[in-house]
Structures are given as structure tokens and as C-alpha cells.
């Protein structure tokens, strides 16, 4: 009850004193001043398909160019079926045919991805919640410990049989997708799908992303870049990359961001465009396959700078 009272008080101004304003101005300039202030220590990013469209990955619902407008060849009962777990279990072929076209390793992270990387490098990123399965957050260098991949990811896959649940890495899945084989478990011959969650798609944006906001009432030292569950303070009406560049310029980070994009894209080109997002065998929480300890993450360093009392 106290949690609900605090939430309603802080977000809707109900049942309590009016909350103290976080921003001195409801504009991008106000956001930049807050980000530069000592009050801002934690930034939460909540992202979806829009941040990857400039990389060449279509979103879902844009008329003419979205995925749902171009799935006629897959003989689906309705477009959304290709991402539903019930349909997937009975007819996995359309999903894996589409996966060949959109497979990680064929696209580069965008300016927006690297803006989040800058937030991380500067010790400001508390968490990134993403709906995307393209792994571009990982390719951009975000620490897996700071990532919540709400719809799963191609980075790891697992057998769907409850009695098995064998995990497989990105290279294993890639080999089967590009050989046109429906991935089957080597232990039990059960169907294997990308992602750690029970559904290929586990809900809409609000349903998936609301819990971290509603379970932890907004704090005056947390700024959220992305859709808020109950209201919006500041909206950027434009494409994601332009918005990130505009905010970076106000923060004095624009040249640093542009150089990061140039450097990282050049490194990807030098590797022949292989952007798998890291070694699939070194997944979050796994030990090095040679028996060593996991390397200290950027997330640990960021937490150390913030102090333990300010971490989730």
C-alpha cells in the first residue's frame, strides 16, 4: 500500500504533496542540464525497434516497410503469428526463414546504441531495457550485466523441452539457420529457439517495461530515456539518432560520440562485418571456457563509481 501511495504521489500528484520538479525546464536543454548535474547518477534506457531502423533492420508496423507489411511469403494466419510461441512450436520454419534475413552479424550499431555506450563509459548507465533481439546493444559494447533483453536475444538459445533446456551459443544457432535446418537439440531432439524467455515475443512495450518503474518508484536521481509508463516529461519528436546527437551536443559529447561511431564501425569493417556481439560462450554469468574467472565488467566499475547504496 505504501508503495502504491508513493507511486501515485510522485507520478500523478495524487494522495500527497506535489513532487519536487526534477528538470528546471521541460525540454532537451533541461534534460541535458540535469544529466550534467551532480543530482543525476543513474540513467535507465528503454528501447525498441526504432533504434535499429537506421542500421537497416525494419521495425514492425511502419506501413510498407515494416516487417508486418512484408510477410506475405511466409503463409501466416496473421502477421504477428511469426513471433508467437504457440505458432512457433507448431511451425518454426517461417521464424527461421525470417531470421536468415535479419541475423545478427549483418548490421552495425547506430548512433543511438553508441550514445548508450557513452552513458555507460561515463558511469551513468544503470540499466538498458531492450525489446530488440538483434544483439546490437552488445555489439556497441554495453555490458551484459546492464542489459535486460525483454524479448530474448539471438546471443543464446535453449531447448524448449522443460526436461532438457540445454543452452546453445550464437555460433551454433548461426550454423543451423544458414544451413536452412530447423535447430534441434543435440541431447533430446527438441526444438531450439533463440532467447532466454518462454515466448519469442513476451508482450507489448508497456507490459514488459512497466515493472521496473512501478516496482521501484521514481527517484530524483534517476532519469529515464525512453517511454515512461504513466506520463512523459520531455518528448523528442524526431528520429532516434538525431535526438541522441542533439542531446550529445548539449552535453558537450557530440565529437566524442561521432568519433566513437567512426572508430567502432571501422573496427567492425576490419573484421569483415562480423558483429556477433561477442563470444557466445562467454554469456552473462558464465565462466571462461578455459577455466578462468569472468573478467570484471564495466557494470562493476560503474557501480563502484556510484557507490553500493545507489545501485539496484
Q: In what order do the strands lie in the sheet with 222-225?
A: 147-149, 125-130, 42-47, 222-225
Distance of CA 247 to the CA centre of its chain: 20
| 39 grid coordinates | 543530482
State the cell numbers at 148: 535486460
In the prediction, which pLDDT does 260 show?
A: 97
Over range 127-147, report the average pLDDT: 92
Sign of the C-alpha dihedral computed for residues 284, 289, 293 and 294 taken in this order: negative
Residue with cell 531450439: 192
pTM above 0.95, yes or no: no
Q: What are the tens digits of pLDDT across the range 250-293?
A: 999 999 999 999 999 999 999 875 555 544 333 333 333 333 33
Cα–Cα distance for residue pair 256/266, rounded to 1 Å = 15
DSSP H helix total and E strand total for the chain: 11, 7
Q: Is 37 exposed, middle or buried (0-12, 13-18, 19+ CB in 10 A)?
A: exposed
pLDDT of 37 reads: 93
pLDDT of residue 287: 32
User: Is 164 flagged in the annotation as binding?
Assistant: yes
**Helix or strand or coil: residue 292?**
coil
The per-residue pLDDT for range 91-108, each reduced to its tens digit, is 998 888 878 877 766 789
Average pLDDT over residues 171-200: 82
Higher-scoring residue by pLDDT: 22, 209: 22
* The pLDDT of residue 42 is above 70: yes
- With H, G, I as helix, E, B as strand and everything else as coil, classify residue 223: strand
Q: Is 178 left (phi over 0), alpha (psi -120 to 50) or beta?
A: alpha
- Confirm or deny that 40 is annotated as ligand binding: no
Domain ranges of the chain: 22-54+110-152+219-269
Task: Name which of 26-40, 134-148, 295-309 the model is least confident about.
Answer: 295-309
How far apart are the two ends of the chain, measured CA to CA in Å? 21
Residues labelled as active-site residues: 151
Topology adopted by domain 22-54+110-152+219-269: Rossmann fold (3.40.50)
Query: Does 244 show up as a binding residue in the annotation?
Result: yes
State residue 271's pLDDT score.
85
pLDDT of 177 > 90? The answer is no
Instruction: Write down the pLDDT at residue 128.
Output: 94
pLDDT given at position 215: 31
**Whether residue 3 has pLDDT greater than 50:** yes
Would you tell me how many other CB atoms lie within 10 Å of the CB of residue 21?
11
Q: What is the DSSP string of 231-259?
A: --S----S-HHHHHHHHHHHHT-HHHHHH
How confident is the model at residue 238, as a pLDDT?
A: 86
* 112 annotated as ligand-binding: no
Output the pLDDT for position 66.
61
What pLDDT, on a 0 to 100 scale, did the predictor assign at position 226? 53
**pLDDT of the residue at 80:** 78
Amino acid at each position: 500500500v505504501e508503495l502504491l501511495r508513493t507511486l501515485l504521489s510522485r507520478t500523478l500528484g495524487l494522495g500527497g504533496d506535489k513532487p519536487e520538479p526534477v528538470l528546471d525546464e521541460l525540454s532537451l536543454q533541461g534534460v541535458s542540464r540535469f544529466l550534467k548535474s551532480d543530482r543525476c547518477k543513474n540513467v535507465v534506457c528503454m528501447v525498441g525497434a526504432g533504434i535499429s531502423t537506421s542500421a537497416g533492420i525494419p521495425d514492425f508496423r511502419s506501413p510498407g516497410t515494416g516487417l508486418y507489411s512484408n510477410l506475405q511469403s511466409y503463409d501466416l494466419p496473421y502477421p504477428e503469428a511469426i513471433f508467437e510461441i504457440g505458432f512457433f512450436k507448431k511451425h518454426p520454419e517461417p521464424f527461421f526463414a525470417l531470421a536468415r534475413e535479419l541475423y545478427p552479424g549483418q548490421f552495425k550499431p547506430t548512433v543511438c546504441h553508441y550514445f548508450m555506450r557513452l552513458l555507460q563509459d561515463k558511469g551513468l548507465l544503470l540499466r538498458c531495457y531492450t525489446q530488440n533481439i538483434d544483439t546490437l546493444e552488445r555489439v556497441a559494447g554495453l555490458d551484459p550485466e546492464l542489459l535486460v533483453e525483454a524479448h530474448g536475444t539471438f546471443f543464446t538459445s535453449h531447448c524448449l523441452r522443460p526436461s532438457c533446456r540445454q543452452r546453445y551459443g550464437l555460433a551454433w544457432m548461426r550454423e543451423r539457420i544458414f544451413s536452412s535446418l530447423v535447430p534441434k537439440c543435440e541431447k533430446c531432439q527438441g526444438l531450439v529457439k533463440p532467447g532466454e524467455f518462454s515466448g519469442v515475443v513476451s508482450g507489448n512495450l508497456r507490459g514488459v517495461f512497466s515493472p521496473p518503474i512501478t516496482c521501484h518508484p521514481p527517484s530524483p536521481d534517476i532519469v529515464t530515456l525512453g517511454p515512461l509508463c504513466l506520463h512523459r516529461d520531455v518528448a523528442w519528436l524526431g528520429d532516434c539518432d538525431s535526438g541522441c546527437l542533439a542531446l550529445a551536443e548539449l552535453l558537450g559529447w557530440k565529437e566524442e560520440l561521432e568519433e566513437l561511431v567512426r572508430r567502432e564501425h571501422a573496427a567492425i569493417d576490419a573484421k569483415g562485418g562480423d558483429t556477433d556481439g561477442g563470444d557466445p560462450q562467454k554469456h552473462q554469468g558464465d565462466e571462461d571456457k578455459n577455466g578462468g574467472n569472468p573478467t570484471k565488467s564495466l557494470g562493476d566499475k560503474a557501480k563502484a563509481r556510484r557507490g553500493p547504496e545507489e545501485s539496484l
